[in-house]
Structure 1
Amino acid sequence: MGMSAPQGGGRPAGVTPSMNVTPLVDVVLVLLIIFMVVTPLLAKQFWLNLPKKEDPVKVERAPDDADRPVVLTVDERGVLRINQTEVPRAELKERLARIFAARSDDVLYFDADDAAAYAVAVEAMDAARMGGARTIAVLTEKPAR
């Protein structure tokens, strides 16, 4: 901050302060240059995975069951069903592994009755994960039958 003192034979009014703006302008210009250099580096990148175009000669018709979703249900007695077909607990992992080996997606829809035991539901989801289900979608509404 600079100061100026009055000169001459006038009345001594005291020292009047005045602001030195030069350091402020220097700092602002340096910040402006920094922002101009950094801004192009902040450009966001996103990855886009497009499906590959299939050759019409090689396209095979999928079986009718390939379009149906795989739904694993647990009822109040602890009985496990895959698409309304009852499955013993010991065979669940192997049966799901065979189902997912024939499908292109590994999505399993899971539905448990409100009165089903929590331990049975968690064991069923663990067996489904070990059977090859990569995504387990928990159904919140009853599926249409």
Structure 2
Amino acid sequence: MQVSGSEKKGVAQPVMNVTPLVDVVLVLLIIFMVVTPLLNKQMWLNLPKKDEDAKNEPPPPDADKPVVLTVDEGGVVKINQTVVERGELRERLRRIFAARSDQLLYFDAADEAPYGIAVEVMDIAKMGGAKGIAILTEKPGG
């Protein structure tokens, strides 16, 4: 920094050098850019508490059975234990939901089921008329 009129001969004038500061900031920027994609992504899931006091009465025999869509380890898709090809899944679900008052679909995927197929099946179910998809946390009937 120099101020005119205050120059003294033989006295060192202070000069601001910002190069090291810029270098450090750029290195930190690069570190954050590399580390950010490696952070774990989390999905929070709030499950309702199990009601222990509820009576476990069987439903009446004429009640509609729920629609359960399952994907097993091999990627085989089933609707209520009936094997369905993925190509005809959308139309089959559309017909099922047209005859029902509720458009609720229960979805269950095996632990070893391919993730991509499970998500694709849920997308097809949404296009097939399912207004809500309930993901099962316990095996049906158990």
- What corresponds to 2:75 in structure 1? 78
- What corresponds to 2:96 in structure 1? 99
Counterpart CA distance in 1 for 2:92 and 2:64 is 18
Runs of 4+ in 1 over 3 A off after TM superposition: none
Which of structures 1 and 2 has the bigger CA Rg?
A: 1
CA RMSD in angstroms, aligned pairs only:
1.5
Counterpart CA distance in 1 for 2:95 and 2:83 is 16
Counterpart CA distance in 2 for 1:67 and 1:87 is 20
Post-superposition Cα deviations, 1:63-105, rounded to whole Å, max 9, x if no partner, equal: 94x6100000000000000000000000000000000000000
Post-superposition Cα deviations, 1:35-81, rounded to whole Å, max 9, x if no partner, equal: xxxxxxxxxxxxxxxxxxxxxxxxxxxx94x6100000000000000
- What corresponds to 2:85 in structure 1? 88
Cα deviation, residue 131, structure 1: 0.1
How many residue pairs get aligned? The number is 82
Q: Which runs of 5+ in 2 are unaligned?
A: 1-60
Structure-to-structure mapping, 1:49-128, within 5 angstroms: 64=62, 67-128=64-125
Counterpart residue identity of residue 78, structure 1 = G
Q: Which runs of 5+ in 1 are unaligned?
A: 1-62
Secondary structure class of the residue paired with 2:107: strand
Counterpart CA distance in 2 for 1:67 and 1:89 is 24
Normalising by structure 2, we get a TM-score of: 0.56
Normalising by structure 1, we get a TM-score of: 0.55
Counterpart CA distance in 1 for 2:141 and 2:73 is 19
Structure-to-structure mapping, 1:17-56, within 5 angstroms: none
How many percent identity over aligned positions? 71
Counterpart residue identity of residue 133, structure 1 = A
Cα deviation, residue 108, structure 1: 0.1
Alignment of 1:138 onto 2:135: yes
Counterpart residue identity of residue 113, structure 1 = A
Counterpart CA distance in 2 for 1:130 and 1:89 is 13
